[in-house]
Amino acid sequence: MNESAHEKPVTLSVVVPVYNSGDVLRRGLAALAASDYDAYDVLVVDDGSTEPIESTVRSYGFDYLRIDGPGGPARARNLGVARVQGNVVVFVDADVCVHADTLSRFAARFASDDTIDAVVGTYDDTPGHPGFLSQYRNLFHHYVHQAFDGDISTFWSGCGAMRREVFDAFGGFDAVRYRRPAIEDIELGTWVAAEGHRIVLDRTVQCTHLKQWTFRNLVKTDLFDRGIPWTRLMLRAGDMPKTLNVSVVQRISVALVYLTLGLLVAGCWWTTALAAAAAAAALVTMLNLPFYRYFLARRGTVFTARVVPLHWLYFVYCGVAVVVGTVLHHLRKDPRPSPPDGPRLGVDASRGP
């Protein structure tokens, strides 16, 4: 890495991929326009939306790029980075509102420590949508990210920043493997960290998530867009992180939930198994007491009572994801990629922006 590049003043280029979602995009752009940091520019990459997007973007004085699509946010971000000039690229999802100090906090971390190559933030604890599932899902994310502060081995493109030279060196997001929203950011972070680059989670860098979650979308996302591909990624990398969603407590909880369910089934024939199932369930609760107390303090008893079965369901499909992801890994013999010479734009990138 060119150390002299880190001596330059930090200039931020914000890349926002979007496919439709004009209403939430408008709120997100308004939040960016209200930033207390000056040395930044914004490029919105329209991934073939069927809604009018350009006029909204131009009304805030930001740059607009339309590409043929939809080809997925990984490709949109890569094409966006190729058009911006900042030495630090900030990725913000279209359904995210940064806080007034989000960009200044990003810039300060990079300016204060030239060993840091990427910084990720977190959702705040005031999700934009009032629905129970949206509140639960976003508070879940806030809890997980707030539990850690410091070096991690993953990246997050919902509200994350990376030095341009590092992003370019690794060819950006893998838009060939990920043609829809998935774990393209986690994968990039995995390879960046594996090569010794520092990725830091700064829990003071926060943003508000506006997404409305449904039960179907929640399960589909966690299982097919995150759990299964993340399992395959960890097997390709030959390493399992011990932080965030794959902490030791999380892994033990998954095993105990399946043990509990197995003992309940066995209880149909052996009543003594029911007592063992109760003990295993109690242990799951004890391990996750900080999680439940977090919800209790913020949303009360009734809300927390509704969280518990969803949390158990989460552990169930985490287990399913591990099994399915492992089988697919071995059937398809997933290779570990080498850093490419250029951006991994996807096979349809030839259609151009």
Asked whether residue 221 is domain-assigned, the answer is no
The CATH number of the domain holding residue 199 is: 3.90.550.10
**Residue 281 half-sphere exposure toward CB, CA atoms < 13 A:** 14
Asked whether residue 266 is domain-assigned, the answer is yes
Asked whether residue 281 is domain-assigned, the answer is yes
Give 148-184 pLDDT, tens digit per residue.
888 999 999 999 999 999 999 999 999 999 999 999 9
| Domain total of the chain | 2
Same domain, 175 and 315: no
Question: To the nearest whole number, what is the mean pLDDT of the chain?
Answer: 90
Q: What is the pLDDT of residue 241?
A: 62
Asked whether residue 217 is domain-assigned, the answer is no
Same domain, 35 and 82: yes
Distances, alpha carbon 287 to alpha carbons 33, 209, 291, 307, 320, in Å:
42, 28, 9, 15, 21
Distances, alpha carbon 231 to alpha carbons 124, 218, 259, in Å:
27, 18, 21
Give 99-120 pLDDT, tens digit per residue.
999 999 999 999 999 999 999 9
Same domain, 265 and 321: yes
Same domain, 251 and 199: no
Asked whether residue 2 is domain-assigned, the answer is no
| Pick from 12-16, 218-222, 304-308: least confident | 218-222
Same domain, 324 and 342: no
Same domain, 159 and 179: yes
Same domain, 187 and 259: no
β-pair type (150-152, 88-92): unpaired
DSSP structural state of residue 337:
P
Same domain, 85 and 114: yes
Question: At 137, phi and psi to the nearest 5?
Answer: -65, -45
Give 200-252 pLDDT, tens digit per residue.
999 999 999 999 999 999 999 999 999 999 999 988 888 766 555 567 888 89
* Rounded-to-integer distance, Cα 349 and Cα 189, Å: 23
Same domain, 164 and 278: no
Q: Are 74 and 98 in contact (CB under 8 A)?
A: no
Give the global pTM: 0.89
Domain that holds residue 120: 10-212+338-351
Closest CA to 231 of 338, 339, 333, 328: 328
Same domain, 145 and 31: yes
**309 confidence band (pLDDT: 50, 70, 90):** very high
Asked whether residue 100 is domain-assigned, the answer is yes
β-pair type (159-163, 12-18): unpaired
Closest CA to 154 of 195, 97, 207, 201: 201
* Rounded-to-integer distance, Cα 225 and Cα 229, Å: 6
Distances, alpha carbon 249 to alpha carbons 240, 242, 285, 351, in Å:
13, 9, 11, 46
Same domain, 159 and 87: yes
**130 confidence band (pLDDT: 50, 70, 90):** very high
Asked whether residue 163 is domain-assigned, the answer is yes
For residues 197 and 341, the model is more confident at: 197
Same domain, 173 and 298: no
Asked whether residue 232 is domain-assigned, the answer is no
